[in-house]
Each structure stands twice: as structure tokens, then as C-alpha cells.
Amino acid sequence: MLKKKFKTEAWSSIFLLLCLFTLTVSAQNAPPAEEVKVFVMELQGPIDPRTNRYTKLALEEATEEKADLVIIEMDTYGGALNDADEIRTRILEYPAPVWVFINKDAASAGALISLAADSIYMANGASIGAATVVSGTGEAAPDKYQSYMRSIMRSTAEANGRDPQIAEAMVDEDLEVEGVSKKGEVITFSTSEAIQHGFAEGQVQSIEEILERNGIENYEIIQYEVSLTEKIISIFINPFISGILILVIVGGLYFELQTPGVGFPLAASIIALVLYLVPYYLNGLAENWEILLFFVGLGLIIAEVFFIPGFGIAGISGLFITIGTLIIMMLNNDALSFEFVDGERILKAVLATIAGMLGSLVFIFAGGLRFVNSNAFRRVALEDTQDSKQGYTANYRTETFIGKKGTAYTVLRPSGKILLDGEIYDAYTRGDYIERGAKVVIVDDRGSSFKVKLEE
């Protein structure tokens, strides 16, 4: 009996050893754990159209990189509600997990964006909350904006399993949450408080620590870097640069009108206009209707100069519309509502536009003479004097036209065209303005144009 028991135990031991050997060999031959692609982007500074575009481009690149996980390192005091809402929606709809690492502050719009993430981690001394909507002056915005903010804070918290009442109380100071906040104060959580109330998963000091806490050992961190093109675009939305571009736009148009056919001033003006409009458009500042309105203003100015007599309503309206749209394109307004635009930013936009306009005037008067005397101008301008003593003559006609009568075919201010014996000729006045259809008399026929006056 004892011998039989010994044999059973021996075979059991051999079987266990064989199993252990098999598992060991399998473990050695097993492929290594697949590397996790961790895409990291930073969200720092004010939330505005630039950060909105930044997150859009970053998440697009994360998709191209086939990232398994996106981590947003955040430090912001908030910003524009409309841009924060778009970023929030983008994060909620993103197919891969999105985590937020609050490395100091996630206030106001930053809190809303954080709540959209699947997980929140906070550094020591960080905070989240204080999401009351404020105007550009720093005062609380009207209740319709507060109501909307309360609604999206509540729904965003619900989407990720966080307490919606606490999220709403981060906006509304009149909302009291038992054991969390008192009436008259909005909720702002420290790191430990956020963990206690389920608004953060833990306290960490680095992204690597976040990955370690989640058992991710084999990973590749892909740090999002803004492309050179985007860096250049960000340069051109600086109000100072915008002022310089306005100077080139106006100055180029002026010199092209003064020296038609040269081409370079017009080309410089068009390039400056493109460099002005495109960056603001890409960053969501210049809306389609603003760009359209700008060209309407420009069209009114051109119509005043070439088609409408004098300088009246069309010209002045066009000037105001053009300058106005150049200003509002710099500002993140909501259909001409500047309630949430910082007053300092409005001042910078106005000063940049005025400086650009005044600078163009200085450039026109001070630089005009230098341009005329430049080598570039000499290459396209005729400087030789064709003196009559050398046989040159301005009158190539075999018969005189002086005294002949015709009709103003176009408006003459002072140049235009006249109709004479069924033929159309170039003409000009002595500075007088002559309406289309008026009777005129030729007083000088030298040169390629007739000098005319009103028939008495």
C-alpha cells in the first residue's frame, strides 16, 4: 500500500515538472508585448482659435500615427467658450482613449476640456474647476451663457461617469452640493479633493508615472510638434505683423495706381493680403462673411475711384467697411458680439490697423520720391526728353481737331473718352468734371489725347 502511494506521488511530481517545463519554454518563445503608441500633446495658455486648431491638427496626426492612447498635458486658466466646446466635442468623439494630465491648472474652459477625457491625472498642487463664464472685462456673463456652460459641464461629466451635480457647481455659485460646497462659491478642486470626489484617477508627477500606474511598460511616446508651416502662420496673426501687412496692402495699391503696368506694387499688395487673410481664416478668426465684407468694402472704394463721380457715400462707406473688417478679423467675435473678447486684444487690433494705415501714408509720401528715383523705376519709366528741337513732335495728325464738337462717351474726371464723328477718342479736361453725355469742344489736339472743355 505504501509502495503504491509512493509511485502515485512520484508520477504526480514528474507530471508537475513537465507542466512547469512546458510553461517556461512557452514563456521564453512567446512574442514580446506589443509596443503601445502614446501620443502626447500640450494644451497651455489661453483657449482660443489657435489652441482649437492646434488640438484639431494634433488629433489628426495621432490618428495618422495610429496612436493607442492620447495624453493631453494641460495648464490653462481657460478662454473662449466656443473653442473649448469644439475641443470638448472632438475629445469625446475620438475613438482612442484620451487622458488629461493637469500639470498645474485646468480652470474654466480647461475644466470643461478635462471632463471630456476618459481619465484625469493631476500633479501635486494642481487644481480643476472655477468654470463660471466671464466677459472680456472679467465680469460674469449673462445667465444664458452660464446656463449653456452648466448644461455642457453636466453632460460631459455624465458621459465619463463623473458626478454631474459637482460639474455644474463648478459653474453655478448658487448651487450647493452637500459635503462638497456651500452656496455662494463655485467649486475648485485641489488634487486630493479631485481624487476624493472621483474627478481624478490619481496624483502623478510625470506622464511616465501615469503609464506605470496603468501597467504600461512597453511604450513609445510620440510628442506632437507644430509644423514649420503652422509656426509661420502663428507669426502672421500677431497684431504687429498684421499692421505691417496692412501697410504693404495699402501702399502697394497706391503705387500701382500711380504707376500702372509696373506690376511689382500690385503683386506685393496681393501677397500681403493673402498673408493677412489666410492665417486668420485657418485659425478660425476670419469668418467667410468677414472676408466677403472686406471685398465688398474694397469694391466700393474701387467703384468710387473709377466709376462714381467725386468721393462720396460709396468711397467713405467702403473705407469704413474695409478698415472695420481688417480689425474684426483679428478678434474672436461672435457675429459682431465682442462680449467675450478681451479689451486689451481689441485695443491691440485697433492700434495695429491704425498704425498700418498711418504707416502706409508715411510710406506713400516719404517713399514715393525714392521709388521714382530708384533703378527699378528707371527700368520701366521713360526718362529721356524728346525735345521738339530734335525733331520730335506730339502731333501726328494731318488735320486739326481744335474747335470740333463731340459728346462725353464716359465720365471725364478729368480723363475719359469722347465720341466724335462716330469714333471714340481718349480725352481729358483742364481739371473740370464732365458728366457722361455732355457736349464738349476740343481745345487742344496735341498728343494722343484731346484736351476738351464743356460746350458753352
Lowest mean pLDDT among 93-107, 274-288, 409-423: 274-288
Q: Is residue 303 part of a domain?
A: no
448 shares its domain with 335: no
Whether pLDDT at 372 is above 60: no
d(CA 377, CA 380): 5
Give the Cβ contact number of residue 52 at 10 Å. Answer: 22
Beta pairing, strands 127-129 & 119-122: unpaired
Lowest mean pLDDT among 58-67, 113-122, 262-271, 411-420: 262-271
233 shares its domain with 221: no
User: For the chain, what percent of residues have pLDDT higher than 90?
Assistant: 29
61 shares its domain with 195: yes
Q: Which domain holds residue 85?
A: 36-226
216 shares its domain with 256: no
Whether pLDDT at 392 is above 90: no
Q: Is residue 169 part of a domain?
A: yes
d(CA 135, CA 340): 4
210 shares its domain with 270: no
Q: How confident is the model at residue 41 (pLDDT cuts 50, 70, 90)?
A: very high
Lowest mean pLDDT among 182-196, 220-234, 264-278, 294-308: 294-308
- CA angle, 49 then 83 then 75, to 5°: 85
103 shares its domain with 133: yes
Give the C-alpha distances (Å, rounded to integers) separating 376 from 31, 252, 257, 370. Answer: 70, 15, 17, 11
- What are the cell numbers at 378? 528707371
Q: Is residue 416 part of a domain?
A: yes
Q: What is the DSSP letter of 334?
A: B
255 shares its domain with 111: no
* End position of a domain, from candidates 226, 252, 267: 226
Domain count, the chain: 3
Q: What is the CATH number of the domain that holds 136?
A: 3.90.226.10
What type of residue sits at position 91? I
116 shares its domain with 175: yes
* Mean model confidence pLDDT for the chain: 79
d(CA 42, CA 146): 27
Residue 28 is predicted with a pLDDT of: 47
Q: What are 249-260's pLDDT values in tens digits?
A: 777 776 666 655
338 shares its domain with 235: yes
Q: Is residue 320 part of a domain?
A: no
Verdict on whether the full-model pTM lies above 0.75: no
Q: Is residue 198 part of a domain?
A: yes
Provide long-range contacts, Cβ within 8 A and 24+ apart, for 340-348: 340/80, 340/81, 340/133, 340/134, 340/135, 340/136, 340/141, 341/136, 342/136, 343/136, 343/137, 345/136, 346/136, 348/239
Q: Is residue 311 part of a domain?
A: no
Q: What is the CATH number of the domain that holds 430?
A: 2.40.50.140
151 shares its domain with 65: yes
447 shares its domain with 357: no
Q: Is residue 165 part of a domain?
A: yes
216 shares its domain with 277: no
Lowest mean pLDDT among 18-27, 176-185, 199-208, 231-240: 18-27
